[in-house]
Amino acid sequence: MSLTNFPGGGGSATGTPATKVTMPALAEMKRQGKPISALTAYDYATSRLVDEAGIDMVLVGDSLAMVVLGHDNTLAVTVDEMLHHTRAVRRAVRRALVVADMPFGSYHGTVAEGLANAVRFVKEAGAEAVKIEGPRVELVRALTEAEIPVVGHLGLTPQSIHRMGGYRVQARTAETVERLKRDALALAEAGAGALVLEGVPREVAAAITAELPIPTIGIGAGPDCDGQILVFHDLVNLTFAPAAKFVRRYGDAAAVIRSAVEHYREDVERRAFPSDEESYHLPEAARRALEPKTEAARKLHTLRKA
Ligand code: KIV
């Protein structure tokens, strides 16, 4: 197995040292009108590729419950599972901001419980920020006071699947648009450093982005947000399901992996793998020492091989 080597400190497609992305850096990007690129990632290898491609923010999303662990929705994933994946991502990423999703149930009780769980993500897994769904203003304030940067998440919040009655576009009436705007402003005032806006009409995301002092990161929220995020497995076609309207597939990893694995199986079945070049060999002296010594033994050896 070939292992880690980070040329020049890692983090950029060109191999040149890259400046670490921090939460204040995201705010600066908004000020400068520079789009923020974000992707989910859940393991060492893909996180490393994502980071080396120059993505600004890596989210260890609770979507891992679905795309990595095979659950029907995001609700089942636990804090310990999220910590396990966050550690792997943390080991891979040098440049991007590493954000860990707080899973369902880990911040839905008291503020003290939410704070204690968030501390675990920073202390035990190296997260640089946590993401929480919904307008949990009190919790965002407490996390901010505890020096834990927070990414908010409003609109279609997958952990609310049962309340929403499915994954549906949110904020489609004047009243719900106003509520969403109020919630977004309240989260920003409480100290959130960025806000994911998911599954909302383009016009709504554009208006909130214009009003909010913190960056918005859109997913299914149109092109006017300060940044965009996608689920890694959607981007490379590893989801085994039709893509949602907002997904653009930039590659077909399923086809690449399927073809590689099928070729490997075929080669094993027809004894074409491994070749002699792919085999280890005895040193000459040891090989000669093991050769049959007498003419009779040589003949027997040849007969056995025939
Ligand atoms: O868990 C996740 O992947 C997310 C993104 C969709 C923003 O929360």
For ligand 1, the distance from its centroid to the CA atom of residue 223, given in whole angstroms, is: 17
Residue nearest to atom 2 of ligand 1 (CA): 61
Q: Residue 218, Cα to own-chain centre: how many angstroms?
A: 15
Does a structural domain hold residue 35?
yes
Does a structural domain hold residue 206?
yes
Does a structural domain hold residue 260?
no
Give the catalytic positions in this structure.
Answer: 198
226 contacts 199 by C-beta, under 8 angstroms:
no
pLDDT digit string (tens) for 118-162? 999 999 999 999 999 999 999 999 999 999 999 999 999 999 999
User: What local confidence, expressed as pLDDT, does residue 7 receive?
Assistant: 40
Residue nearest to atom 1 of ligand 1 (CA): 61
pLDDT band at 294 (very low <50, low <70, confident <90, very high): low
For ligand 1, the distance from its centroid to the CA atom of residue 282, given in whole angstroms, is: 53
The verdict on the CB of residue 62 being under 6 Å from ligand 1 is yes
Residue nearest to atom 8 of ligand 1 (CA): 61
Does a structural domain hold residue 280?
no
User: What local confidence, expressed as pLDDT, does residue 306 receive?
Assistant: 60
Does a structural domain hold residue 152?
yes
Lowest mean pLDDT among 3-17, 22-36, 180-194: 3-17
Candidate from 42, 62, 63 with most ligand 1 atoms within 8 A of CB, to mutate: 63
Locate the ligand 1 atom nearest the alpha carbon of residue 229 and give its number: 7
Does a structural domain hold residue 1?
no
pLDDT digit string (tens) for 195-231? 999 999 999 999 999 999 999 999 999 999 999 999 9
For ligand 1, the distance from its centroid to the CA atom of residue 40, given in whole angstroms, is: 7
Residue 64 and residue 173: Cα distance in Å, rounded?
Answer: 31
Does a structural domain hold residue 287?
no
The verdict on the CB of residue 196 being under 6 Å from ligand 1 is yes
| Partners of residue 229 on adjacent β-strands | 38
Q: What is the CATH number of the domain that holds 123?
A: 3.20.20.60
Does a structural domain hold residue 13?
yes
Residue span of the structural domain in which 51 resides: 7-235
Amino acid identity, position 263: H
Q: Strand ranges (DSSP E) for 20-112?
A: 36-40, 57-60, 97-101
Candidate from 82, 229, 235 with most ligand 1 atoms within 8 A of CB, to mutate: 229
Q: How many domains does the chain have?
A: 1
Locate the ligand 1 atom nearest the alpha carbon of residue 133 and give its number: 8
| Sign of the C-alpha dihedral computed for residues 53, 58, 64 and 66 taken in this order | negative
The verdict on the CB of residue 229 being under 6 Å from ligand 1 is yes
pLDDT band at 255 (very low <50, low <70, confident <90, very high): very high
The verdict on the CB of residue 52 being under 6 Å from ligand 1 is no
The verdict on the CB of residue 101 being under 6 Å from ligand 1 is yes
Please check the confidence at residue 1 and state whether its pLDDT lies above 50: no
Mean pLDDT of the chain: 93
- Burial zone of 197 (CB within 10 Å; 0-12 exposed, 13-18 middle, 19+ buried): buried
